[in-house]
């Protein structure tokens, strides 16, 4: 099934990420100074600066996870222990959010370290540098992450529900890959459409992936 309120969730998450990434660019430029000095950026910033974004992103991931799980539960018509689902959602959002944001900061670190020397090599102004660094703090990057992680949170919510359903009721469901099956479906996902997922790979298969999962009941 598709993500419940996908457009709304993607917009909300993109707004939060865009705002926070813009704030991080401001912090980074303040640390760098004019002329920029890479050694002026505290090591602690690269190690833990992502936490300020995590506190804004994590609740959205939790809500998406649980909303999708609840919709799938209604669709199947069999309930599970919702306290367990709440705990699962919180644990997943914290661990996954940390992983995604650490990776984001690592990639930003690499980009900044490759870009700042150009200030001196090419005679940039600090405004030139700011413009160049926007690549790692842009609304486009925020939107890409928002689309990808909306898909992931929804898929993980459904998958967690099915795992819990099997533990509690012995009902076994097989995941089926579902694309939109239109001209926008990529060559990575198109061959998977309608196929059982047997290799453990679930959507999103790539950035901006909007594929989802269907479920088939396996009778014992």
The secondary element (H helix, E strand) that includes residue 172 is strand 172-178
State how far the alpha carbon of 179 is from the alpha carbons of 152, 183, 184, in Å.
Answer: 14, 11, 10
Q: Give dist(CA 199, CA 69) in Å, integer.
A: 22
The secondary element (H helix, E strand) that includes residue 99 is helix 82-115
| pLDDT surpassing 80 at residue 220 | no
Residue 16: inside a domain, yes or no? yes
Residue 182: inside a domain, yes or no? no
Chain centre distance of CA 135: 18
Selection from 186, 191, 193 nearest residue 213 by Cα = 193
Residue 32: inside a domain, yes or no? yes
What was the pLDDT predicted at 187?
87
Domain count, the chain: 1
Which pLDDT tens digit goes with each residue over 106-132?
Answer: 999 999 999 999 999 999 999 999 999
Residue range of the domain that includes 144: 6-170
Confidence of residue 181 (pLDDT cuts 50, 70, 90): low
Beta bridge partners of 214: 176
Output the average pLDDT for the chain: 95
Residue 1: inside a domain, yes or no? no
Residue 134: inside a domain, yes or no? yes
Residue 194: inside a domain, yes or no? no
Which pLDDT tens digit goes with each residue over 16-69?
Answer: 999 999 999 999 999 999 999 999 999 999 999 999 999 999 999 999 999 999
Residue 25: inside a domain, yes or no? yes
What is the length of the chain?
220
This prediction has a pTM of: 0.95
Residue 209: inside a domain, yes or no? no
């Amino acid at each position: 099934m598709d993500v419940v309120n996908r457009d709304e969730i993607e917009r909300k998450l993109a707004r939060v990420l865009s705002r926070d990434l813009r704030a991080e660019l401001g912090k980074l430029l303040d640390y760098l100074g004019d002329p920029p000095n890479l050694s002026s950026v505290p090591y602690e910033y690269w190690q833990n600066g992502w936490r300020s974004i995590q506190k804004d992103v994590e609740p959205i991931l939790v809500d998406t996870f649980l909303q999708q799980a609840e919709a799938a539960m209604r669709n199947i018509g069999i309930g599970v222990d919702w306290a367990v689902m709440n705990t699962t959602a919180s644990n997943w959002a914290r661990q996954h959010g940390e992983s995604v944001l650490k990776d984001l900061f690592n990639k930003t670190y690499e980009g900044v370290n490759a870009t700042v020397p150009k200030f001196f090599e090419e005679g940039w102004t600090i405004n030139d540098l700011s413009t160049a660094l926007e690549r790692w703090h842009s609304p486009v990057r925020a939107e890409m992450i928002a689309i990808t992680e909306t898909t992931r949170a929804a898929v993980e919510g459904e998958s967690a529900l099915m795992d819990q359903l099997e533990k509690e009721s012995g009902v076994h469901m097989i995941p089926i890959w579902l694309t939109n099956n239109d001209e926008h479906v990529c060559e990575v996902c198109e061959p998977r459409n309608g196929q059982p997922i047997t290799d453990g790979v679930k959507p999103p298969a790539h950035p901006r992936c909007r594929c989802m999962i269907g479920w088939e009941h396996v009778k014992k």
